[in-house]
Amino acid sequence: MDTKWKNNWARVIVWLLLFSHGVHGVMTTITQGPDYIGKNYFGTHSFQFELNRYIDDLLVFELNYIPIEEAKKQITVTSEEIEEHRLRYGELPDQVQNIKDQYEDKINQAIANNNQQNADAYTAERDRKIEDITENFRNDEHVLAKVAKEKEAEIDEIYKGLDRGRTGFKQHYRYFVYRITDKETGQVYSNLSAKDREQKIRDGQMAYLRDYSLGNSQSVQESHHRTGGISYSGDIPVDHPYKLPIETSPRNFEGQIGVTNAIKTSSDYAAFQSQQRLFYVYAISGVVSLLISLFVVNRWQIIERIAPRTGQATFNRVPLDFAAGITAIALFIAFNRLDTVRFIRVESVSRAIRFLFYNSLWTGLAIALLIYLYRRLKEGSDPQADFRGSMTARIWQTAQESFLIRSTGVQIFLILLFALGLGPGAIIVYLFNSSFLFVLYCGIALLIGLPLLYLILRQAGYFNKIALYLENIVQGYAVPDLTIKGQSKLAKIAENVNRLKQGVKVSQQEQAKSERLKTELITNVSHDLRTPLTSVITYTELLKQPNLSDEERASYVGIIDQKSKRLKVLIDDLFEASKMASGSVELTKQKVDLVQLLQQALAEYDEQIKTSGLQFRITTPETPVYALVDGQKVWRAFDNLIYNILKYSLEHTRVYISVQADGSIARIIFRNIAKYELGENVDELFERFKRGDTSRQTEGSGLGLAIAKSIIDLHDGSLDIEVDGDLFKVTISLQSA
């Protein structure tokens, strides 16, 4: 098994070496082939660059050379140069003031030292300079002479360089020969002997020969070593270091430039010959290696061995964009390793082997990742799931979440930007070793960095307090409210935590209240249902006695009937209240006059009102007040409220009922004086089986208000209760039609 495993990996290594060398060889052929295939040394870029430099220097040192006295005679000064010199340091007032400022301290210092002689000398020197500057603005000739003198000094420096450079020019270009003729004057320039310069240079005598026309025309002839015309200006290049500051007339030259056979003994020529031979060997071996690697790739099962299926599951768990990214990086590094020049110019076999090894390593990694990525895409990965799990989506979601509160996101971004900038800033200060940069860096660190550090630490401490506070709340400890500091988002969180704590407290109180009301509900329901039921059972037992008179029997049956109907009313009201609270009641809405509906409800209790001793005061508008409601249900709400008024109002008091139209809202208001003392918690009156008579001695189910409120709520209205002492007020608000 071990032997088989070793053989498999040996094949993979051999294949990677062949493939990487093959790809490298093919790329070498493509990229370097034009420089070596069918070429000689004189066709290389390095030689052509050297030839162009030689022509430029030839124009400077020989063809366009003029004596220094002649160059100075050709000096010209333009009006633009005069104006530039005049305004070089600003307008006249600015220059005069500048000179005065320069000498003011010197003169004052001399006077303070009782050295009048120096003070007079400084004053005279200052006045001469002011006079000279003033003359610049009065007389162009005065400026012209100064500019011309500057150009003469520049020419002196250039000719010093020319004298030094000519020696180096002849030594550096010792293999080059030239015979050039001025087409206008017929003067011949050459570095050949006096005998040889009288005739053209013959091709057989040179390793390289080229005919030129140096001027505005194209080259007229070239030897067999190169083809294609090149045009050169007969003037010195503008960017040449020895370009004279004078205007010269263009000159036209023609002639020959050659390279002697002695260049074949130079190191550059020999290096090209060796490099060319190495290129052919490497290119051919690379093509052969690539063909062999492609031939055995399936036979040796290279694909499955480089990227085994066992690793596919692990690769698939990596986010798709991250996997694609590392694959792209590996491919980039692998191709970047295929640097032709780097390999061909190696100086030892060991470096060549090391280079090929690293090439194979990166090539194998890139191929393995590429195969895994291809399989993942081909085998049908879920694009939406891949996108949701990608690093890009995660980073984008995190960035969005960090900027949900924009001010906080911006603050964090700026803090990170500044913190990350301190490191590179310190490196820059160290590299430039500048005292100014050091002082600037320290100032920024002290004025911005330390306050920023303090702010971060303070906010971190505040955050820790909030976290500990929440932990104490969760554990049930009674803790005081958090201190609100400033207007930051952490302060807002602290404020919200305080509100949340108060909300939890209120919720706990409501829960306790709900438990209490639930207990009361069960007690009240049991009491109200058991009372009539007990009467029914008791009188039923009495009816079983055989010695009852007819009158007693009839009386008992009447009581049983009354209590049974009472029990039925309680059950019906409870059922209706449950339906109302659950919202499972269907409404048949119509346009109804609320005034008329109220009058109908009052008419049902006409007899009870007359005998109740209560004085009803009804106030309604002259015009109808319409609302889109279920008339039967709203009538039931009115009926329940009127019934409660008759049952719980104090005798011989007034009852006020009014209907008001307030814009789009219709209000029906009921007011009466209660005979029983009402509690402070008005909302509990809406609870089922809650009655104003806490002793529960009166008739009633305790569901009237609960049913009435549920009916009004189903109509998207409101039923509100107000208690002021014994004054009981109910306000119904409905949307008018």
Residue pair 703/662 in contact (Cβ under 8 Å)? The answer is: no
What is the per-residue pLDDT for 713?
A: 85
Domains 510-585 and 586-735 share a fold: no
What is the per-residue pLDDT for 717?
A: 92
Ranking 223-227, 335-339, 375-379, 430-434 by mean pLDDT, the lowest is 223-227
| Per-residue pLDDT reduced to its tens digit, 82-105 | 899 888 888 999 989 999 999 998
Pairing of strands 188-190, 615-619: unpaired
Looking at domain 586-735, its CATH class is alpha beta
**371-375, 467-471, 498-502, 597-601, range with greatest mean pLDDT:** 597-601
What is the per-residue pLDDT for 515?
A: 63
3-class SS of residue 482: coil
Under the banding of pLDDT at 50, 70 and 90, the label for residue 224 is very low
* Across 579-583, average pLDDT: 62
Under the banding of pLDDT at 50, 70 and 90, the label for residue 568 is confident
Residue that wins the pLDDT comparison between 686 and 668: 668
Q: Which sequence spans correspond to the domains of the chain?
A: 41-217+246-268, 307-388, 390-475, 510-585, 586-735
- Contacts of 564 by beta carbon, 8 Å cutoff, 6+ apart: 532, 536
CA proximity to 312, closest of 299, 323, 321: 323
Kindly write down the DSSP assignment for every residue of 275-331, as one continuous string.
HHHHHHHHHHHHHHHHHHHHHHTTTTTHHHHHS-GGGHHHHHHS-HHHHHHHHHHHH
At residue 681, what is the residue type? N
* Across 399-406, average pLDDT: 60
Q: How far apart are CA 332 and CA 533, in angstroms?
A: 93
**100-109, 230-239, 319-328, 552-561, range with greatest mean pLDDT:** 100-109
Predicted confidence (pLDDT) at residue 528 exceeds the cutoff of 70: no
Residue that wins the pLDDT comparison between 339 and 377: 377
The separation between CA 714 and the C-alpha centre of its own chain, rounded to angstroms, equals 50
What is the per-residue pLDDT for 626?
A: 93
Residue that wins the pLDDT comparison between 470 and 307: 307
Percent residues over pLDDT 90 in the chain = 10
* Across 295-323, average pLDDT: 84
Cα distances (angstroms) measured from residue 271 to each of 46, 70, 282: 12, 45, 16
* Across 576-580, average pLDDT: 64
State which CATH number among 3.40.50.1980, 2.30.42.10, 3.30.390.50, 1.10.287.130 fits the domain covering 510-585: 1.10.287.130
At residue 16, what is the residue type? L
Q: How far apart are CA 521 and CA 112, in angstroms?
A: 109
Predicted confidence (pLDDT) at residue 696 exceeds the cutoff of 60: no
| Per-residue pLDDT reduced to its tens digit, 272-298 | 888 888 888 888 888 998 899 889 888
| Per-residue pLDDT reduced to its tens digit, 261-271 | 888 888 888 88
Under the banding of pLDDT at 50, 70 and 90, the label for residue 667 is very high
Under the banding of pLDDT at 50, 70 and 90, the label for residue 239 is low
**pTM higher than 0.75 for the full model?**
no
Residue pair 134/143 in contact (Cβ under 8 Å)? The answer is: no
CA proximity to 250, closest of 161, 188, 169, 182: 182
What is the per-residue pLDDT for 162?
A: 81
Under the banding of pLDDT at 50, 70 and 90, the label for residue 192 is confident
Under the banding of pLDDT at 50, 70 and 90, the label for residue 57 is confident
C-alpha neighbours within 13 Å on the C-beta side of residue 220:
11
Predicted confidence (pLDDT) at residue 342 exceeds the cutoff of 60: no
* Across 39-58, average pLDDT: 86
Q: How far apart are CA 392 and CA 679, in angstroms?
A: 63
Predicted confidence (pLDDT) at residue 72 exceeds the cutoff of 80: yes
Total residues found in the chain within this entry: 737
Cα distances (angstroms) measured from residue 576 to each of 570, 706, 711: 10, 10, 10
Residue that wins the pLDDT comparison between 60 and 420: 60
Q: Decide: residue 488, CB within 10 A, 0-12 exposed, 13-18 middle, 19+ buried.
A: middle
Predicted confidence (pLDDT) at residue 377 exceeds the cutoff of 80: yes
Under the banding of pLDDT at 50, 70 and 90, the label for residue 225 is very low
Ranking 29-43, 642-656, 682-696 by mean pLDDT, the lowest is 682-696
* Across 191-218, average pLDDT: 72
What is the per-residue pLDDT for 679?
A: 61
Mean pLDDT of the chain: 78
| Per-residue pLDDT reduced to its tens digit, 95-133 | 899 999 999 988 999 898 999 999 899 899 999 999 998
Under the banding of pLDDT at 50, 70 and 90, the label for residue 514 is low
CA proximity to 646, closest of 673, 616, 609, 621: 609
